[in-house]
Amino acid sequence: MTPDYSSLPNSPEAERAVLGSCLFSREALGTAIEILKPEDFYSPDNRKMFEVLSAMYTADKPVDFVTAQIELDSQGILETLGGQAFLAELAANVTTTSNAVYHAQIVRDNAVRRKLFFVGDALRGMVMNNSLSIAEIVEHAEKLIFEAAENKSASDFRHVKDIIGPVFVDVEERYRQNDDKTSGYPTGFADLDAYTGGLQPGSLNIIAARPSMGKTAFAVNIAQFGGGSANRPVLIFSLEMPAEQLVMRMLSAEAKVNLSALAKGIFDTDDFQRIREACDILARQNIFINDDSNLTAVDFRTRCRRFKTRYPDLALVIVDYLQLMSSGEKRLADGRQQEVSDISRMLKASAREMRCPVIALSQLSRAVESRNEKKPQLSDLRDSGAIEQDADLVLLMFREDYYTENENNDLQDSKADIRVAKNRNGSTGVFHLTFMREYTRFVNFGEEVR
């Protein structure tokens, strides 16, 4: 059955009202150009008219009924569109230009509806293509939907007087927090919170280290022992290890039972009691894990949006780790650096969209190993300098005894140096933590955990 394309969503009145406003007001034309593209108009005549007006605006030509008529005539399309009667009809649809944004949004909404209609056509074709896997179909469908619904409109200009009020309320709230100076997500690590005031909403926070330094444990500890008493939802994307292995680590850290012994089932009655109690504590925490090892940037953003819809008070998102994620686009081998740059920008955009902090773990390059001085630097961030550029906070982890391993080290606590290498909203510096390796747990330096 052939679909009836003639009945697709459209509003001739709104389209004419937009064009009429554009002829009356240059400001209305500029606003319409921010919101609409020529192809958003359903009528071919209206589409061509908007294209001409946009070109005149871009060329800094004056735009009104007279100049538009001259321009259309010079291009030989005035009579094709309907001559002066066409322009007169546009004028008849305008009583005020103050509603131009509202009318433009109607045109835009109808354009999105039409695009989604054709996405359905494309999806039907993909479903019938047996060479595509279900995962490929779903990913491509989501990409088409988001592209169709993408809003071209730029953020409107905001006067500082409209912003200063909420900013002052935020400052006042922080001032009145006599004991708690943490305005963002409390990490559970006092020195880190002193640098950051807590991980801030909309921030991208990078934890970078060489393999086996403990960056996964550090991030999971923040999810498990941070957050304060609110118990808001935390979402972890674990690309490197399955969810069961990650939860086993969390259980070890909570129960303070040796991870290896826990995995082998070798522990005494007291340990078993602590494990049961730790299970109850973990079960009450709002921590969610996605362990899809083939996560793409599109998958990440889609799943975060879905999660945010279900849990609007989402407090933190963790990605372990950035270099294991793909953009979902096929690239040449030498395009990996650009791909990581795209992923980094996507993580930052997602943090802002969800209004919660995102922690992304990152590998460091092997250049660290070739130096006498093993402490990492910002330039060691692997694959892309864009990670440093996009990040609000970069933490570089280093443990000296990582390079002096011996057979007893697995049971010894380890001093970890955490360098705040970049801090967009505060100072940089170094603080120390203690890594209780047998439990994969970090604690504040000098603190005893019972």
Per the domain annotation, does 167 fall within a domain?
A: no
Please indicate, yes or no, if residue 173 is contained in any of the structural domains.
no
Three-state SS annotation for 312-330: CCCCEEEEECHHHCECCCC
Digit-coded pLDDT (tens) for 114-165 = 888 888 877 888 888 777 777 777 767 776 776 666 554 444 555 566 666 6
Classify residue 174: in a domain, yes or no. Answer: no
Sole residue written with tokens 């709230």:
173
pLDDT at position 154: 44
Exposure on the CB side of residue 350, measured as CA atoms within 13 A: 28
* Domain identity same for 310 and 358: yes
Q: What pLDDT band is residue 328 in, cutting at 50, 70 and 90?
A: low
- Is 77 found in the same domain as 33? yes
Residues 194-218 have pLDDT tens digits of 888 888 998 999 898 888 888 899 9
Both 114 and 199 in one domain: the answer is no
Domain boundary (131, 149, 167) is at 149
**50 Cβ contact list (under 8 Å, min separation 6):** 18, 19, 22, 32, 36, 38, 41
Residue 168 lies in a domain: no
Give the range of the structural domain holding residue 37, as residue numbers without chain letter.
Answer: 5-149
- Do 131 and 186 have their domain in common? no
Of 152-166, 295-309, 368-382, which has the strongest mean pLDDT? Answer: 295-309
Is 210 in the same domain as 282?
yes
Task: Could you list the beta-strand ranges (E) of 83-162.
Answer: none
Residue 191 domain flag: yes
Evaluate if residue 2 carries a pLDDT over 50. Answer: no
CATH code of residue 135: 1.10.860.10
Q: Within this chain, do residues 99 and 218 fall inside the same structural domain, yes or no?
A: no
Distance, C-alpha 202 to centroid of its chain: 8
Antiparallel, parallel or unpaired: β 316-320 and 358-363 = parallel
Per-residue pLDDT at 1 exceeds 50: no
Residues 121 and 233 in one domain: no
Asked whether residue 14 falls in the same domain as residue 127, the answer is: yes
What angle do the packed helices 297-310 and 134-149 form, to 10 degrees?
70
Residue 160 within a domain: no
Assess whether 297 and 406 both reside in one domain: yes
Q: Could you please report the per-residue DSSP string of 13-32?
A: HHHHHHHHHHHH-HHHHHHH
**Residue 208, strand partner residues:** 362, 396
How confident is the prediction for the chain on average, in pLDDT?
Answer: 80
Tens of pLDDT, residue by residue over 81-95, are: 888 888 888 887 777
pTM of the model: 0.63
- Phi/psi zone of residue 54: left (φ > 0), alpha (ψ -120 to 50 degrees), beta? alpha
Residue 29 main-chain phi, psi, to 5 deg: -65, -45
Is the pLDDT reported for residue 306 higher than 60?
yes
Between 337 and 187, name the one with better pLDDT. 187
Structure tokens at 38: 């020529």
Among 149, 165, 199, the domain boundary falls at: 149
Q: What's the pLDDT band for 357 if we cut at 50, 70, 90?
A: very high
Indicate whether 311 belongs to any domain. yes
Residue 210 confidence (pLDDT): 82
Q: How confident is the model at residue 249 (pLDDT cuts 50, 70, 90)?
A: confident
Confirm whether 209 is domain-assigned: yes
* 67 shares a domain with 142: yes
- C-alpha Rg value of the chain to the nearest Å: 28
Domain count, the chain: 2
Mean pLDDT for 28-45 is: 86
The closest alpha carbon to 235, from 178, 342, 310, belongs to: 310
Sheet with 413-423, edge to edge strand ranges: 287-290, 234-238, 316-320, 358-363, 204-209, 393-398, 413-423, 429-436, 441-444
228 has pLDDT over 70: yes
User: 218 with 356, same domain?
Assistant: yes
Same domain, 225 and 138: no
